[in-house]
Amino acid sequence: MTGYENLTHPIAFLGFMLTLILPIFVGFLTYRRMKNESDFFLGGRTMDRIVEALSSVSSGRSSWLVLGVSGMAYTRGIGAVWAILGYSLVELVQFLTIGYRLRRETGKWGSITLLDYFESRFQDRKNLVRGIGALIIGIFLTAYVAAQLNAGAKSLTTALDIPLLGSLFLCTVFILIYMILGGFIAVAYNDVLRAVIMIFGLCILPLIGLIHLSGFKMLFQILKGLDPKTMDVFSIGVGGILGFFGIGLGSPGQPHILVRYMAIDDPKKLKTSAWVGTFWNITMGLGAVMIGLLGRAVIPDAQQLPKGDPEMIYLVLSSKYFGPILYGILIGGIFAAILSTVDSQLLVVASTVVRDCYEKIWRKELPLTESQKLHLSRWVVFFSGVVSIVLAYFAKEIIFWLVLFAWGGLGASIGPALIFSLYWKSTTKYGVIAGMITGTLVTFIWRLWLKSVTGLYELIPAFFLSCIAIVVVSRVTQSRMRQIEEIKNAH
């Protein structure tokens, strides 16, 4: 049985729908905890260390881990483990360093968004950093949300045999209900539920597959017989290994990941979150690699997979080894994993519009009450979802073109700015602005004209050139600011 065929079974369909309806129930449970804007966008900084760890794992990995890594291992072999090691190591370091300092500083300043922190850190009264940062985050994340919605809708279309527009509508409705009700807390708790489903699937499925295949020895014999390179961990080459580690450079620039560090109740607890998150990152990652290898051994010809797509191997093995109820839950878990990234990103888009643009730029002189802020935040989440539906349906080509740059663009523009602001006291707001603009432009230029020549992922040069821009411009402007101050004091 292949693809989503088991969902025609009523019990499988029930398991699938359970994973979609449960988040709405969580939204109702957390509704009364929404008292103000900070609660809605940051959970009132009350997140527990375990919730923090599992929520970060779920929202950061999404379907890329379940489908993408298993498909990569199916086609490229055991060398796919470098992707797991790359992001796991980077995120461990990020939890222990950037995450801790960011939570401490944002708590000190009372910052609700990342751009709140930048304004406070650089005393940016003219909102230059906030304005440019909001534009970058808004463009990249809106495209990202629309693309993820499109991916989720395609999964739902295949699963339930309904039109794409209907699937987009259902996806958005499922997300918006619990987001509007429970804000960040509902998103975080639902991410934990999704993480549990992902952990179960990625840990149990490889074990059952190995039992059916009579253990590791038989698996390795089959794979070596098919292609010896499958079992060569260095088969992807030095460039491929560096590329996988290079992808991790994007993590410090992802607002939907960074906001989780800002939401924990005590920055000292991030150390526990770091190790818990890293353990499950590696465990789930190795599980995904094992699923790909098992799939290659069981179904050597990719053309036997649905649409000849190696990323379908998780679905095929799940339908092969699990009964209808577990299969339905696991398929629903994949769909939910896609949405776990969507809800986190949609919340950041809404906070950018409400907090960074409307409150701090457009209506700076006319402050809103907490009740008005909360009401406005819910409406912006709703309209952001509607805009994402329209983009996902009518502007597919533009969306996916932008998404190609989204991870790298945010990583190269926001990441260096954040790192230098936290670790280099001489950083100026003009240096940060230069870094943001440089990172964004180099990402586009490299992707369009230089990647095909160099073969180098655009995030790597864009990240380091952004760092150089921050240092150079900060040095120049710091010197200039001292001169102006001396002239003022002289008069």
**How confident is the model over 143-201, as pLDDT tens digits?**
888 888 887 787 677 667 788 888 889 889 989 999 999 999 999 999 999 889 889 99
Cβ(292)–Cβ(73) below 8 Å: yes
Which pLDDT score is estimated for 244? 80
Is the confidence at residue 401, as pLDDT, over 70?
A: no
Cβ(317)–Cβ(229) below 8 Å: no
Is the confidence at residue 400, as pLDDT, over 80?
A: no
- SS3 category, 274: helix
Two tokens, residue 489: 């004091």
Is the confidence at residue 337, as pLDDT, over 80?
A: no
Is the confidence at residue 73, as pLDDT, over 90?
A: yes
Which pLDDT score is estimated for 2? 45
Q: How many CB atoms lie within 10 A of CB 158?
A: 17
Is the confidence at residue 282, as pLDDT, over 90?
A: yes
Which pLDDT score is estimated for 167? 86
Q: How many CB atoms lie within 10 A of CB 382?
A: 15
Higher pLDDT, 341 or 79: 79
Is the confidence at residue 265, as pLDDT, over 50?
A: yes
Is the confidence at residue 338, as pLDDT, over 80?
A: no
How far apart (Å, rounded) are the C-alpha atoms in residues 332 and 4? 11
Q: Residue 485 — very low, low, confident or very high, per pLDDT cuts 50/70/90?
A: low
How far apart (Å, rounded) are the C-alpha atoms in residues 221 and 62? 32
pTM over the 0.95 mark: no
Query: Where does residue 75 rank: exposed (0-12), middle (13-18), buried (19+ CB within 10 A)?
Result: middle
pLDDT digits (tens, 9 = 90+) for 462-479: 999 999 999 999 999 987
Q: Which residues pair with 264 in a beta bridge?
A: 47
Q: Residue 4 — very low, low, confident or very high, per pLDDT cuts 50/70/90?
A: very low
Cβ(281)–Cβ(88) below 8 Å: yes
Which pLDDT score is estimated for 94? 94
Instruction: For Cα atoms 340, 87, 445, give the angle at the middle one, nearest 5 degrees.
Output: 90
How far apart (Å, rounded) are the C-alpha atoms in residues 166 and 160? 10
pLDDT digits (tens, 9 = 90+) for 443-468: 999 988 998 888 788 999 999 999 99
Which pLDDT score is estimated for 484? 57
> Residues of 120-149 as b/e, b for ≥16 C-beta within 10 angstroms?
ebbebeebbbbbbbbebbbbbbbbbbbbbb
Lowest mean pLDDT among 51-60, 87-96, 105-114, 330-339: 330-339
Q: Residue 1 — very low, low, confident or very high, per pLDDT cuts 50/70/90?
A: very low
DSSP string, 164-207: HHHHHHHHHHHHHHHHHHHHHHHHHHHHHHHHHHHHHHHHHHHH
Closest CA to 349 of 85, 111, 141, 115: 141
Give every CB contact of residue 3 below 8 A, 6+ residues apart in sequence: 158, 306, 312, 315, 316, 319
Section 324-334 average pLDDT = 85
Section 59-79 average pLDDT = 85
Mean pLDDT of the chain: 88
Long-range contacts of 79-82, Cβ-Cβ distance < 8 Å, separation of 24 or more = 79/232, 79/233, 79/234, 79/235, 79/236, 79/240, 80/288, 80/289, 80/292, 81/233, 81/285, 81/286, 81/289, 82/233, 82/236, 82/240, 82/241, 82/244, 82/245
* Residues in the chain, overall count: 491
Is the confidence at residue 31, as pLDDT, over 80?
A: yes
Section 279-298 average pLDDT = 95
End-to-end Cα, the chain, rounded Å? 84
Closest CA to 470 of 425, 429, 410: 429
Q: Report all structural domains of the chain as residue ranges with CATH numbers, in order of start.
A: 5-402 (1.20.1730.10)
Number of Cα atoms under 13 Å in the Cβ half of residue 175? 34
Cβ(201)–Cβ(330) below 8 Å: yes
Distances in whole angstroms, Cα of residue 487 to Cα of each of 61, 123, 296, 484: 53, 21, 72, 5
How far apart (Å, rounded) are the C-alpha atoms in residues 49 and 434? 35
Higher pLDDT, 141 or 395: 141
Please name the amino acid found at residue 332.
G
Section 51-61 average pLDDT = 85
Is the confidence at residue 350, as pLDDT, over 90?
A: yes
- SS3 category, 302: helix
What are residue 47's phi and psi, to 5 degrees?
A: -70, 135
Q: Residue 482 — very low, low, confident or very high, per pLDDT cuts 50/70/90?
A: low
Q: How many CB atoms lie within 10 A of CB 255?
A: 25
- SS3 category, 47: strand
Which pLDDT score is estimated for 417? 98
Is the confidence at residue 438, as pLDDT, over 70?
A: yes
Closest CA to 279 of 337, 209, 195: 195
Higher pLDDT, 183 or 61: 183
Two tokens, residue 151: 């991916």
Is the confidence at residue 217, as pLDDT, over 70?
A: yes
